[in-house]
Amino acid sequence: MKRMVLLNPGPVNVSDKVARAQLRGDLCHREEEFARLASGIRRKLKRAFAIEDSFSPVLISGSGTAALEMAVGSFVSPEKSLLVISNGVYGERIARIAEVHGIPRTVLETPWGTPPDLDAIERALEADPRIEAVAMVHHETTTGLLNPLNEVGALARRAGKKFLVDAISSLAGDTFDFDAAGVDLAVGTANKCVQGLPGVSFALVRKDDLPRLEAIPARSLYLNLAAQHRAQEAGQTLFTPAVQAHYALDAALDELIEETVAGRVERTRRAARLLREGFAAMGLHPLLPEKWQSNVLTALQLPEGAAYADLHDRLKARGFVIYAGQGNLESRAFRVANIGDIRQDEFKEFLAALEETLPSRPANAGSRP
């Protein structure tokens, strides 16, 4: 049977090896085999991202938002506040998590698809001594915008603030230099560029920052980063984890280490280039200028005369799942991600299917190569 090719930004297509890993067998999470599995995953995460010396992973069963909520809810000391940089759905989600947990926050917004205003960040950091940390999404999946990680990290560091990054859709897909950006905590998930299955996510925490995090009173029983970390360091797990998703993540990390993160980033970049050349040849226009685009996803303007639902359904009937625009972009844009275990020939087949599915263009609207 021909598989469905997932061009949504996660969950992604995975290799047969990763899919089969779920069937390694029933396992009680209180047995030493699970402790070995979890500590192996934590070790492999550090190895894959070359952060053995400076970071410690915390696994959490749940989607990326669970890890993000654990991170944000555990990162700000009482009486301190968080500066949230927001230019899309996921920046707004960080602010909402802070609100739910009663964390004082300043939100610096730019319109969706527009990079943050670095001067405004600098001014905000100078103006409010209560700010303890800056939080930002690296790849804003809403629009495909790659936020300026190193620049914002440098501002945070210069002002003596901690830096939390939602790297859920960028880790292993776009370049992410933990040290150059001065990241103190990065949030990731198994089922995007890491190519595991949904059900387990993680926070990568700078070891130097652990004593500060330990001193922050818990705002959640389950999503408590310091408590989860302590248990995992002791070879335990606080609650029942998604065991089979851990098996799959373990296998996915073996593949990532073999391919290398740099190799995966390059493969993702090449796939994006192939698709974008194809889109341009069809006369489709990206939502963002090229210089701001991630490797992971392209947001495209819906061409005149095309309805997203129809486009989606016709492509799905041919074996390809694309993704709608979010919020106010819903009627104007659609998205195509290029992450996961997808072959070049499948991307080419998708381009051919898309071209046949789009409404026909006026004859002078640009030529195909």
**Min separation Cβ 139 and ligand PLP, Å:** 6
Among 9, 73, 116, 196, binds ligand PLP (CB under 6 A): 9
3-class state of residue 369 by DSSP: coil
**Min separation Cβ 199 and ligand PLP, Å:** 10
3-class state of residue 32 by DSSP: helix
Size of the site for ligand PLP (CB under 6 A): 14
Which of the 8 DSSP states describes residue 174? B
DSSP string, 37-55: HHHHHHHHHHHHTT-TTTE
Judged by beta carbon, residue 103 or residue 137, the one nearer ligand PLP is 137
Exposure on the CB side of residue 351, measured as CA atoms within 13 A: 21
3-class state of residue 189 by DSSP: strand
195 lines the binding site for ligand PLP (CB under 6 A)? no
169 lines the binding site for ligand PLP (CB under 6 A)? yes
Could you tell me whether strands 162-166 and 5-6 are parallel, antiparallel, or unpaired per DSSP bridges?
unpaired
Query: ∠320-326-332 over CA atoms, to 5°?
Result: 80
**Min separation Cβ 183 and ligand PLP, Å:** 15
**Min separation Cβ 170 and ligand PLP, Å:** 7
Residue type present at position 191? N
**Min separation Cβ 2 and ligand PLP, Å:** 26
User: How many Å apart are CA 154 and CA 173, to the nearest integer?
Assistant: 22
10 Å CB burial of residue 299 (0-12, 13-18, 19+) is buried
- 296 with 169: CB under 8 angstroms? yes
**Min separation Cβ 143 and ligand PLP, Å:** 11
Judged by beta carbon, residue 68 or residue 83, the one nearer ligand PLP is 68
Judged by beta carbon, residue 271 or residue 351, the one nearer ligand PLP is 271
Letters for 57-76 (x = contact with ligand PLP by CB under 6 A, - = none) are: ------xxx--x--------
Among 5, 6, 7, 10, binds ligand PLP (CB under 6 A): 10
Among 74, 141, 195, 294, binds ligand PLP (CB under 6 A): 141
Among 56, 87, 106, 189, binds ligand PLP (CB under 6 A): 189
**Min separation Cβ 135 and ligand PLP, Å:** 12
User: How many Å apart are CA 31 and CA 251, to the nearest integer?
Assistant: 20
3-class state of residue 157 by DSSP: helix
Q: Which residues bind ligand PLP (CB under 6 A)?
A: 9-10, 63-65, 68, 90, 137, 139, 141, 166, 168-169, 189
